């Protein structure tokens, strides 16, 4: 029994497994990137109108009758085609364009049906086909563009591509996701030349910028060097300053010992000096007490005594002076009174004497007047007489000058001879060489000299008479003297 | 998978639409976003990139006719 159960169970399991295997064979699932194209049965034309005889399943499972229906898969994956096309631009410039076209089968049933009919057995060749299509179209597209458009106006390129290829690819059931131009080879160097001005400008700008940057960098560098030098200098200055401070401190530290010694010694010396000073002070004080104070006292005593003595003497002298002064005053009074009396007496005597003298003088004057008058009278009479005589003599002279002169010579002869002899009077010792004769000669010469004077007198008289001047008259007083009156004419002539 | 549902969908222009030009619009459809070749519905309008458009006609497989979604 159990055996039967086991067999039944085994059979059931096998049956289940067989059913599962059968279902597995019949059930097909379309993956997201593929479409199932099922043909062979006409009773279900899902998704498509009748007429084509196959159905398309995407994204789900479907039951397929093995042996009755055929299932084919069409990949909806992305495909790409490398393009390498020699073409000529609108300007006639040959270019080689290399690019890539990215395309896929359209997702709608129409596109899948179109593509399935065209590529179901040639999915590997799809790229080649597309390449051929695009190569021709790209030539025409590039032929309608210039190089500048191709490089700069991608929108235009894309638009042209879409216009030319879009409908073409629509027929194939494909859609173009992207057309990329990778590279434009330029055998004539057109693009390079086209880029050259800009490249040169860019290069120029770059060089300018580089030079400017170099300049700025150099400036900054030099400034930095200057700053570094400055910093180094400052640092060295500071270091030198600190070194100097260290040296100073070191020197100070080194000198601290000797300095302390010196300070200590100085303190000792100061204290010693202080001691010496104190001793000197004490000694001085002692001397003051021992010597000076007694001396001062003595001196004071002496001085006091001397002063007292002096005061006493001064008082004595003053008293004496007073006494003398009083005595002198008394004497003076006495003398003055005596002198006054004497003067009075003298004056009285003088007055008496003067009166007597005046009386005497008056009497004498009267007598003298009388005598004078008498004498004058007499002189007058004598003058008149003499004048008379002179007049007479003048008359006589006028008549006979020679006689008068001779007479006068004769009258005066003794004086003349006396005068001539007076010449010898001064001779102390006269030597006469000729004896008596010699003596006679000398006297003769002396007399001759008198004669010469006579001649001279004559000449003078003559000259006087020639001038018509009368001989001057003599004053009565002169005429009073007899000898003098005789000499006057001689001297005046 | 009803292609008729394309009509009335909103899309965005990714390639300028104009006379003599073949434009491109991105339309949200079938759970994703697909691009379609686009033409102006009135034939003369020029629609720049970025403009929101509405599909007024769908010509299978991949062509749509669009018009501006908003008057501007």
HEC string of chain A? CHHHHHHHHHHHHHHHHHHHHHHHHHEEECCCCEEEEEECCCCCCCCCCCCCCEEEEECCEEECCECCEEEEEEECCCEEEEEEEEEECCCCCEEEEEEEEEEEECCCHHHHHHHHHHHCCCHHHHHHHHHHHHHHHHHHHHHCCCHHHHHHCHHHHHHHHHHHHHHHHHHHCEEEEEEEEEEEECCCCHHHHHHHHHHHHHHHHHHHHHHHHHHHHHHHHHHHHHHHHHHHHHHHHHHHHHHHHHHHHHHHHHHHHHHHHHHHHHHHHHHHHHHHHHHHHHHHHHHHHHHHHHHHHHHHHHHHHHHHHHHHHHHHHHHHHHHHHHHHHHHHHHHHHHHHHHHHHHHHHHHHHHHHHHHHHHHHHHHHHHHHHHHHHHHHHHHHHHHHHHHHHHHHHHHCHHHHHHHHHHHHHHHHHHHHHHHHHCCCCCCCCCHHHHHHHHHHHHHHHHHHHHHHHHHHHHHHHHHCCCCCCCCCCHHHCHHHHHHHHHHHC
What is the per-residue pLDDT for A461? 67
The overall pTM is greater than 0.80: no
Mean pLDDT of A412-419: 76
User: pLDDT at position A214, please?
Assistant: 92
- pLDDT in the model for residue A302: 93
Question: What number is the average pLDDT over the span A76-85?
Answer: 89
Q: Residues A380-399: pLDDT tens digits? A: 899 899 888 888 877 877 77
Q: Calculate mean pLDDT across residues B9-34.
A: 85
Complex ipTM above 0.90? no
Q: What pLDDT score does A93 carry?
A: 87
Q: Which of A35, A102, A107 to mutate to test the interface with B (most CBs of B within 10 A)?
A: A107
Q: What's the rounded mean pLDDT across residues A86-112?
A: 87
Per-residue pLDDT at A143 exceeds 90 = no
Rounded mean pLDDT of A316-344? 94
Residue A413 has pLDDT above 70, yes or no: yes
pLDDT of residue A262 exceeding 60: yes
B8 has pLDDT over 90: no
- CB-closest option in B22, B23, B61 to A110: B61
Give residue B69's pLDDT. 85
Whether A158 sits inside 8 A of B15 (CB atoms) is: yes
pLDDT range class, residue A238, cuts 50, 70, 90: very high
Q: How confident is the model at residue A433 (pLDDT cuts 50, 70, 90)?
A: low
Q: Which range among A203-212, A284-293, A470-479, B35-44 shows the weakest confidence by mean pLDDT?
A: A470-479
pLDDT (0 to 100) of residue A47: 54
User: Mean of the pLDDT values across residues A181-187?
Assistant: 84
Residue of B nearest to A154 (CA): B15
Whether A166 and B37 lie within 8 Å, measured CB to CB: yes
Contact assignment for A162 to B37 by CB distance below 8 Å: yes
Mutation site for B-interface testing, chosen from A47, A141, A159 by largest number of B Cβ within 10 Å: A159
pLDDT at position A476: 40
A111 contacts on B by Cβ (under 8 Å): 61-62
Please indicate whether residue A93 or residue A476 has the higher confidence score (pLDDT).
Answer: A93
Q: Is the pLDDT of residue A225 over 90?
A: yes
Please give the residue of chain A at the shortest CA–CA distance from B16: A159
The answer to whether residue A52 neighbours chain B at the CB level (below 8 Å) is no
Q: What is the pLDDT of residues A114-133, one digit of tens each?
A: 888 888 888 888 888 888 88
Q: What percent of chain A stands above pLDDT 90?
A: 35
pLDDT band at A486 (very low <50, low <70, confident <90, very high): very low
Binned at pLDDT 50, 70 and 90, residue A236 comes out as: very high
Residue from B29, B31, B61, B64 to probe the interface with A (highest A Cβ count within 10 Å):
B61
């Amino acid at each position: 029994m159990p055996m039967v159960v086991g067999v039944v169970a085994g059979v059931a399991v096998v049956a289940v497994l067989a059913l599962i295997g059968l279902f597995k064979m019949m059930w097909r699932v379309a993956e997201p990137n593929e479409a199932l194209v099922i043909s062979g049965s006409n009773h279900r034309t899902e998704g498509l109108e009748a007429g084509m005889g196959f159905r398309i399943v995407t994204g789900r499972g479907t039951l397929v009758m093995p042996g009755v229906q055929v299932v084919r898969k069409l990949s909806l994956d992305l495909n790409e085609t490398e393009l390498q096309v020699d073409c000529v631009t609108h300007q006639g410039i040959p270019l080689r364009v290399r690019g890539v076209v990215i395309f896929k089968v359209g997702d709608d049933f129409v596109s899948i049906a179109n593509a399935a009919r065209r590529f179901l057995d040639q999915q590997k060749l799809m790229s080649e086909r597309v390449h051929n299509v695009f190569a021709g179209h790209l030539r025409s597209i590039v032929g309608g563009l210039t190089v500048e458009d191709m490089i700069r106006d991608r929108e235009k390129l894309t638009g042209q591509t879409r216009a030319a290829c879009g409908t073409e690819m629509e027929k194939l059931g494909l859609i173009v996701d992207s057309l990329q131009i990778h590279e434009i080879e330029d055998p004539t160097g057109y693009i390079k030349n086209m880029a050259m001005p800009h490249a040169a400008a860019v290069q120029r700008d770059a060089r300018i910028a580089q030079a400017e940057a170099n300049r700025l960098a150099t400036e900054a560098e030099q400034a930095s060097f200057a700053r570094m030098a400055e910093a180094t200098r400052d640092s060295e200055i500071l270091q030198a300053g600190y070194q100097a401070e260290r040296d100073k401190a070191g020197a100070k530290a080194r000198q601290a010992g000797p300095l302390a010694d010196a300070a200590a010694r100085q303190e000792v010396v100061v204290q010693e000096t202080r001691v010496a000073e104190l001793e000197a002070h004490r000694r001085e004080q002692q001397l003051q007490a021992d010597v000076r104070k007694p001396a001062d006292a003595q001196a004071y005593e002496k001085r006091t005594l001397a002063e007292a003595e002096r005061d006493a003497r001064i008082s004595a002298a003053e008293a004496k002076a007073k006494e003398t002064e009083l005595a002198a005053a008394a004497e003076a009074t006495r003398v003055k009174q005596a002198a006054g009396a004497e003067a009075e007496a003298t004056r009285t005597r003088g007055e008496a004497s003067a009166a007597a003298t005046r009386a005497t003088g008056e009497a004498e004057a009267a007598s003298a007047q009388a005598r004078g008058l008498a004498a004058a009278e007499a002189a007058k009479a004598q003058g008149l007489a003499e004048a008379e005589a002179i007049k007479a003599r003048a008359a006589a002279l006028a008549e006979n000058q020679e006689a008068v002169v001779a007479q006068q010579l004769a009258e005066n002869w003794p004086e003349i001879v006396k005068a001539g002899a007076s010449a010898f009077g001064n001779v102390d010792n006269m030597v006469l060489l000729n004896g008596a004769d010699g003596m006679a000669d000398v006297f003769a010469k002396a007399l001759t000299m008198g004669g010469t004077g006579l001649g001279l007198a004559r000449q003078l008289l003559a000259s006087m008479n020639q001038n018509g001047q009368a001989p001057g008259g003599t004053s009565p007083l002169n005429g009073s003297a007899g000898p003098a009156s005789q000499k006057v004419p001689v001297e005046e002539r | 998978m009803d292609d008729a549902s394309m009509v009335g969908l909103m899309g965005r222009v990714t390639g300028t639409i104009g006379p003599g030009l073949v434009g491109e619009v991105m339309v949200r459809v079938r759970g994703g976003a697909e691009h379609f070749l686009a033409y102006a519905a009135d034939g003369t309008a020029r629609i720049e990139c970025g403009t929101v458009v509405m599909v007024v006609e769908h010509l299978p497989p991949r062509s749509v006719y669009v018009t501006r979604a908003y008057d501007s």
